Amino acid sequence: MPKSSKKRINEDDKKFLRVLQQNSGDSIENIAKKCGFSKQKVGRIKKRLEKNNAIWGYPAVVDDGQFGLKKYLMLLKRTHMPVTPEKMEIPIKGRLRRELEKIGISIDFSFLIMGDYDMAICISAPSSKELMILSNKLSSLFGDNIADVKIFDVLFPLQICGIDNPNIDQLKEFF
């Protein structure tokens, strides 16, 4: 099989991405060693994947508890009312995210999902008080488009962004 076949490139990309996800703060040299590739090859793969938007960014995985924050999971169920183009501009332009950051809320991830609910949002906030502000904000902006909201406290993160919790021993406290 030729070195540059699509299958080989795809396998190399996946290997690089697995290593990168767990070591994004490492140097290209260390990532290359962990992949078994040259620095030049890792540089080419990284540059190509960034250019194609296959890599969106490089988040730091943070222990929220050390900063007085808690994680919450919010599930949203939509109504059958269509969302107006003006309302769609709110999340697309990042206006809601900027407003939430002012009150200490950050959205760690959000996904459209299929099932009993339509969206899952993981949130970091100082307390449930800020979640009430978020809930009221969502209600005022999208009230006719939201049928139900469920909020859950995250008790213990096992893994975030492919990174195992370094305090995994504390999991025993929950069982």
Cα–Cα dist 49/117, whole Å? 32
- Domain identity same for 90 and 35: no
Q: Which run of H or E residues covers position 41?
A: helix 39-51
- Domain identity same for 71 and 106: yes
| Mean pLDDT along residues 114-127 | 95
| Average pLDDT taken over every residue of the chain | 90
- Domain identity same for 19 and 87: no
Q: What is the pLDDT of residue 1?
A: 44
- Domain identity same for 38 and 96: no
Task: Give residue 80's identity as a one-letter amino acid code.
Answer: H
- Domain identity same for 71 and 150: yes
Give the CA distances from residue 110 to residues 36, 73, 120, in Å, rounded to whole numbers and listed in that order: 34, 10, 6
The answer to the question of residue 167 being in a domain is: no
Domain span at 119: 64-154
Cα–Cα dist 114/78, whole Å? 11
122: CATH = 3.30.70.60
Pull the structure tokens for residue 63. Answer: 């222990």
The answer to the question of residue 159 being in a domain is: no
The answer to the question of residue 173 being in a domain is: no
- Domain identity same for 41 and 81: no
36: CATH = 1.10.10
Please write the tens of the pLDDT for every residue from 124-173: 999 989 988 888 888 888 989 999 999 999 999 998 888 889 999 999 88
Please write the tens of the pLDDT for every residue from 37-63: 999 999 999 999 999 999 988 888 889
The answer to the question of residue 75 being in a domain is: yes
- Domain identity same for 80 and 35: no
Confidence class of residue 4 from pLDDT cuts 50, 70 and 90?
low
- Domain identity same for 144 and 100: yes
The answer to the question of residue 43 being in a domain is: yes
Cα–Cα dist 142/136, whole Å? 10
- Domain identity same for 79 and 111: yes
The answer to the question of residue 128 being in a domain is: yes
| Mean pLDDT along residues 106-117 | 93
* Total tally of structural domains belonging to the chain: 2
Q: Is the pTM of this model over 0.95?
A: no
Q: What is the pLDDT of residue 31?
A: 94
